[in-house]
Amino acid sequence: MRKLPLRRRVTILLASVAVVLVASVSTITAAAFSARDSLDRQVNELTPAQSAVRQTMSAYFNLDYGIRGYALTGDIEFLDPYQQGRQTLEESLPQLRALAEADSDVNADIQQLIAAGETWQEDFAAPALDTVQQGGQVSAADLQEGRALFDDLRAAGTAAETSIDEELSQARDGLATATQQVVALLVLVGVVVVVLCCFLWIMLQNWVLRPLDELASHLAQVSGGYYGHRIELQGPPEIERVGRDVDAMRERIVRDLDEVGAARRKLQEQSELLERQTAELQRSNTELEQFAYVASHDLQEPLRKVASFCQLLQRRYQGRLDERADSYIDFAVEGAKRMQTLINDLLAFSRVGRTKDDEPVDLNDALDDALNSLETRLEEADAEITGDDLPTVRGDRTLLTQVFFNLVGNAVKFRGEERPRVHIGVRRRGDEWVFCCADNGIGIEPQYADRVFVIFQRLHTRDKYGGTGIGLAMCKKIVEFHGGRIWLDTEHEGRGTRICWSLPADDGTAAGAEAAEGTDVPAPSAAGTEDTADTPGDKQDPDTPAGEPAADTAVGGAAHASAGVVSPEADGPAEGRAPAGRDAGDEPEQVGRQ
């Protein structure tokens, strides 16, 4: 048998085991079906029949008691048990008739019980009740006849109960016998399985494990550094072939060992260089963030003093100096305010990612909070916002609210002549949610698809559209902080702009619409350029002065219904917590500020 290939040996062995197991399972299945039939008859036929017979007899006893008491005394209170009995009988008789019509060994007794009950009611109960209700009296002969009929009814009920009890006893005996057979067969099959497992173990030991142990011993010598050790195995043809292949591999390893060592040393050097560069980059990023935060924070106090004294000069000397002096003071006040806004925005930008409040966030609530903060601006612009049912994701609620706040605010700011309209859409794609903010505003040229997300970059003059140029950069940093990405959909057709962003899906929480209708979500586009020079696009104000920082992107758009939210949940302005931030969609002020 050792000359047979291992595949054929295993096939013969497994086929034999399968035949034994199939025979055992078939026998157990037959016994189990027998037990199931006994249990099914006991539970679904005999037990309901027994309950129905007892319930019916109890009802007839109440009827008899009520009729006799009422017939003898004329007291209407005796009709209470009669009415209870009739109600019980109306519930039990349909079930009893159904059992009588079934193919059963007890249906004859049940039919006799039903017939006796109908005879008693027709010949005694109904006439006696009519007689008393009409003012008459039931004669003693009628009462005696009624007693005889009820005795027949009682006898029929007793016979039915006795028959059902006997059938139940037989069913229980049959179930016990079948259960014992199943248990005995299971024990027998268990013994057979143990024997087969032992036999399989012995065969596998001789055919596979022992040759593999020999192979492992040879490999241990080779891996220990004895590369000249030849590998020769005895066993099934497949095992011997494995030994030859492994020995050939050993020879190739010996030939290539020097080359692998050289490549490993080179890779180690490159890995160390990459680790040093990564550490340097992390240190540089940390220092830059700390510098931005510290510099912005330290500039607050002197800037407040400058702004305060400029405002004092403006209030005290307004109109007392010449027109040029008033203009200079106005310029100083405006510059101080703008610098304070830039510092606040820079502080907010540098604080993104310093702490993370990781919790389930319902983005419907986050959008409502953003719209509440923008309510005045939405009313002034007569803006309309529509949105899909947004899901729940994990993240920082304040930061995610800031994303909606910035995008919707930009949509209102960079609007065209038409009434601003914006739609917040969402689609599930793989293990992430992809959102889109589409509007009908002035739009963004595709060549600025990357530039608009760079901090302090503007596409328009400050006189035409206010802002600091941090809005979309803040959105990008927040989205990337939550493990997503954000991009400008350069393939968007029609007027306006569509900005899309993705967030990881949180399947452990309740989600929103699995596939919201009405929004096609594009994949990230490579369109755009990294150029951050101050070159105005086709839709930028041509009077932009040279050196003016570029960004505050035109994300034309709108908001959830007229000055509110048009969504499945609300027809008017949504109520909720206002986000920490500013009044414009691209001007974050105080995200994360204490």
DSSP H or E segment with residue 422: strand 421-429
**Band of residue 433 on the pLDDT scale cut at 50, 70, 90:** very high
Q: Find residue 434's DSSP bridge partners.
A: 427, 502
Cβ atoms of 163 and 131 closer than 8 Å: no
Q: Find residue 424's DSSP bridge partners.
A: 387, 437
DSSP H or E segment with residue 155: helix 140-204
- DSSP alpha helix (H) spans, 374-519: 375-381, 397-413, 471-481
d(CA 297, CA 350): 11
Model confidence over 43-59: pLDDT tens digits? 666 677 777 777 777 77
Cβ atoms of 114 and 97 closer than 8 Å: yes
d(CA 506, CA 395): 10
Spell out a b/e string for 135-152, using b for 16 or more CB atoms within 10 Å of the CB, else e: eeebeeebbeebeebbeb
DSSP H or E segment with residue 266: helix 237-317
Mean pLDDT (the chain, rounded): 72
Percent of the chain scoring above 70 in pLDDT: 74
Model confidence over 523-545: pLDDT tens digits? 554 333 333 333 333 333 333 33
Collapsed DSSP state (helix, strand, coil) of residue 436: strand
pLDDT at 253 over 60: yes
Average pLDDT in the 305-325 region?
79
Cβ atoms of 310 and 333 closer than 8 Å: yes
pLDDT at 497 over 60: yes
pLDDT at 568 over 60: no
Spell out a b/e string for 189-227, using b for 16 or more CB atoms within 10 Å of the CB, else e: beeeeeeeeeeeeebeeebbeebeebbeebeeebeeeee
Model confidence over 326-375: pLDDT tens digits? 787 877 877 777 777 777 766 777 667 666 678 898 999 999 999 998 88
d(CA 449, CA 541): 18
DSSP H or E segment with residue 243: helix 237-317
d(CA 594, CA 592): 6
d(CA 545, CA 172): 99
**Band of residue 100 on the pLDDT scale cut at 50, 70, 90:** low
Percent of the chain scoring above 90 in pLDDT: 7
Collapsed DSSP state (helix, strand, coil) of residue 359: strand
**Band of residue 19 on the pLDDT scale cut at 50, 70, 90:** confident
Q: Which burial class, exposed, middle or buried, applies to 510 when counting CB atoms under 10 A from its CB (0-12, 13-18, 19+)? A: exposed
Collapsed DSSP state (helix, strand, coil) of residue 533: coil
d(CA 411, CA 496): 9
Q: What is the pTM of this model?
A: 0.41
Query: Which strands, in side-by-side order, build the sheet including 498-504?
Result: 384-387, 421-429, 432-439, 498-504, 486-488
Name which of 330, 264, 58, 572 is nearest 50 in CA terms: 58
**Band of residue 522 on the pLDDT scale cut at 50, 70, 90:** low
- The pLDDT, as a whole number, for residue 552 is 35
